[in-house]
A and B are shown apart, each in its own frame.
Chain A
Amino acid sequence: MARYFTEEHEWIDVEGDTATVGITDYAQEQLGDIVFVELPDVGAMVDKGKDAAVVESVKAASDVYAPISGEVTEANPALEEDPALVNTSAEEEGWFFKLTIGDKSELEGLMDAKAYAAFVDEL
């Protein structure tokens, strides 16, 4: 399994032909207490770089962009009940949605953990 990161602070785990997407620990910390997450419908097609979900904290509402294009196969049901899961476990239990990988080449250009850590340090 490989994990990639975007400059918009999403992470994406790739396993075979499917991927899991969430927001990074850095992102949840910047957002503050998360009160609501709007997830895409299962079956929806998302496009790389286009908004796929919305995360709402006490401070702001932000769009979450699809790191790659694909079809949504699952949305995290736990976030409906407990959106604060994104604060406590952003990069594990607080995942947003899973999708099929339409085009593997879209993964090129995303950062690995080390590059993302360096990117965040620069901010």
Chain B
Amino acid sequence: MRYLPLTDTDRSAMLDVIGAPDVDALFVDVPPEAQLDGPIHGLPMHASEMAVEKHMRGLSKQNLAAADAPFFLGAGAYRHHVPASVDHIIQRGEFLTAYTPYQPEIAQGTLQMLFEFQSQVARLYGCAVANASMYDGSTACWEAVAMAGRVTKRSRAVLSGALHPHYTEVVKTMAKFTGDTIADARPSIQPKPDNSGLISRIDDETSCVVVQYPDILGRLSDLSEIAEAAHAKGALLIVVNTEPVALGAIKSPGEMGADIVVGEGQSIGVGLQFGGPYLGLFAVRDPKHVRQMPGRLCGETVDADGKRGFVLTLSTREQHIRREKATSNICTNSGLCALAFSVHMTLLGEKGLRQLAAENHRLACLAADKLAAVPGVSVLNDAFFNEFTILFDGDAREIVRELADDRILAGVSLGRLYPDVAEFKGGLLVAVTETTTEEDIETLCSALKEKLT
């Protein structure tokens, strides 16, 4: 395809048609103070490539990257070791350049990969059917809420207070345009999630209950009682998982009665990547709900000769066929991130995933014990996987900043997640993975000890 820029004649012909005097007239809705009236102040007009590279390198040195310091950040994005072979395999041209597989006769490789990805997600979540991925965990969470509305024909979603606040924000943003009622809450700072409080908020108008597992504070609980309470009111249970490695150690949401399980897949194969692109996972426990699912689905079939093959299936749910009545506006998938997930998961295998999960948990327990021994620090959780909340007397946000200056990335403060809630000031989320060393844990503990005394 050649790129042919517009000529002045083309432009004026188009402006004539729509009756605009000039291009600037198309931007009248932008407030004048937000419009540029000339070159951007302070930005040099040009520089040589070498000079730009040198300048940018200087800027990048101001970063403190995850791999350059003891690193305890989590809250929905986790640093894990991604084997070099994952990047090697996903960069093969057959995968990297493949377009969306509308033509099964020429796209068997991509389709088989997606089918295997779906199978892995379904098994991990304890579900019957997974789709070929969504954009990220938070948008997958909204899609689940929207789907529950279609299934139950109700429009009141009850969100657990311990759902990641960014996920809550995404759901509320999307609900602005659909008219759904979103009943959210604040997490209660206690060792166990407040299941009974959540259950008491379910009513006869509720389409779904949305629970995070492990939750934003790293806590774990049996979800069966929430599933039963939701089902008794005719609502669906949506479980959100932001750390798929945890599912190598804890019971799957599907086994506990979740109807829709969604989450972030970034932990497996994708890496932190400055916050994106990430990978949304989406699955349903009961195959009867499959037609209300959003997104792309790949299915196994046989060709004219009876040989095993793969196709996109149930496409009539999708936007390119169903137009405005589609189950979702999502008409694509995070193909490359899904491939990375699938390759990493394949390399791990079930045994490897369980070992990885066990190692994460072992190191997290070690960190929790050592932090609890720091004077003034207490661990909130009575159960956790690889992330937990510590409490101390002081402003965690301030301490995190000071420790970063000392080249320690101590965790995500609750004050950062809930800036308006003063009583969360002394809370800090600490995540520990297989990339954390015992030395890193010692460093954090002694630095915190110093700050708190």
B321 at interface by CB-CB < 8 Å: yes
- A38 touching B291 in the complex, CB below 8 Å, given contacts A56-B316, A60-B316, A61-B316: yes
Chain B 29-65 near chain A by CB (<8 Å), digits 1 or 0:
0000000000000000000000000000000000000
Interchain CA distance A56-B321 in the complex, whole Å: 11
Q: Which residues of chain B come closer than 8 Å to A61, judged between CB atoms? A: 316-317, 321-322, 325
Q: Which residues of chain B come closer than 8 Å to A60, judged between CB atoms? A: 316, 321
A63 at interface by CB-CB < 8 Å: yes
A36 at interface by CB-CB < 8 Å: yes
Q: Which residue of A lies closest to B315 (CB)?
A: A61
Q: Which residue of A lies closest to B153 (CB)?
A: A41
Do B291 and A36 touch across chains, with their CB atoms under 8 A apart? yes
Q: Which residues of chain A come closer than 8 Å to B316, judged between CB atoms? A: 36, 56, 60-61
Interchain CA distance A36-B322 in the complex, whole Å: 14
B325 to chain A, nearest CB (A): 7
Interchain CA distance A61-B321 in the complex, whole Å: 7
Interchain CA distance A36-B321 in the complex, whole Å: 15
B94 to chain A, nearest CB (A): 29
Interchain CA distance A63-B317 in the complex, whole Å: 13
Q: Which residue of A lies closest to B316 (CB)?
A: A61
Q: Which residue of A lies closest to B322 (CB)?
A: A61
Chain B 305-344 near chain A by CB (<8 Å), digits 1 or 0:
0000000000011000110010000000000000000000
Q: Which residue of B lies closest to A61 (CB)?
A: B316
Which residues of chain A in 39-73 are interfacial with respect to chain B, using CB atoms and an 8 Å cutoff? 56, 60-61, 63
A75 to chain B, nearest CB (A): 15
Q: Which residues of chain B come closer than 8 Å to A36, judged between CB atoms? A: 291, 316
Interchain CA distance A63-B321 in the complex, whole Å: 13
B96 to chain A, nearest CB (A): 31
Which residues of chain B in 124-164 are interfacial with respect to chain A, using CB atoms and an 8 Å cutoff? none
B317 to chain A, nearest CB (A): 8
Most buried by B among A38, A56, A60, A61: A61
Interchain CA distance A61-B322 in the complex, whole Å: 6
B102 to chain A, nearest CB (A): 14
Q: Which residues of chain A come closer than 8 Å to B322, judged between CB atoms? A: 61
Q: Which residue of B lies closest to A51 (CB)?
A: B325
Interchain CA distance A78-B358 in the complex, whole Å: 51
Interchain CA distance A36-B423 in the complex, whole Å: 54
Interchain CA distance A38-B325 in the complex, whole Å: 13
Interchain CA distance A38-B150 in the complex, whole Å: 13
Q: Which residue of B lies closest to A63 (CB)?
A: B325
Interchain CA distance A122-B15 in the complex, whole Å: 41
Chain A 23-48 near chain B by CB (<8 Å), digits 1 or 0:
00000000000001010000000000
A55 to chain B, nearest CB (A): 10
Interchain CA distance A115-B161 in the complex, whole Å: 61
Q: Which residues of chain B come closer than 8 Å to A38, judged between CB atoms? A: 291
B188 to chain A, nearest CB (A): 38
Interchain CA distance A61-B316 in the complex, whole Å: 6
Most buried by B among A38, A56, A60: A56
A105 to chain B, nearest CB (A): 30
A47 to chain B, nearest CB (A): 16
A42 to chain B, nearest CB (A): 14
Q: Which residues of chain A come closer than 8 Å to B317, judged between CB atoms? A: 61
Interchain CA distance A56-B322 in the complex, whole Å: 10
B175 to chain A, nearest CB (A): 23
Q: Which residues of chain A come closer than 8 Å to B325, judged between CB atoms? A: 61, 63
Interchain CA distance A97-B325 in the complex, whole Å: 21
Q: Which residues of chain A come closer than 8 Å to B291, judged between CB atoms? A: 36, 38
Chain A 99-110 near chain B by CB (<8 Å), digits 1 or 0:
000000000000
A60 to chain B, nearest CB (A): 6
A40 to chain B, nearest CB (A): 11
Pairs of residues from A and B, 9 with the lowest C-beta to C-beta distance, nearest first: A61-B316, A56-B316, A61-B322, A60-B321, A61-B321, A60-B316, A36-B291, A63-B325, A38-B291
A interface residues (Cβ-Cβ under 8 A, vs B): 36, 38, 56, 60-61, 63
A-B contacts, 12 listed (Cβ < 8 Å): A36-B291, A36-B316, A38-B291, A56-B316, A60-B316, A60-B321, A61-B316, A61-B317, A61-B321, A61-B322, A61-B325, A63-B325
Other than the given A38-B291, A61-B316, 10 more pairs (CB < 8 A) read A36-B291, A36-B316, A56-B316, A60-B316, A60-B321, A61-B317, A61-B321, A61-B322, A61-B325, A63-B325
B interface residues (Cβ-Cβ under 8 A, vs A): 291, 316-317, 321-322, 325
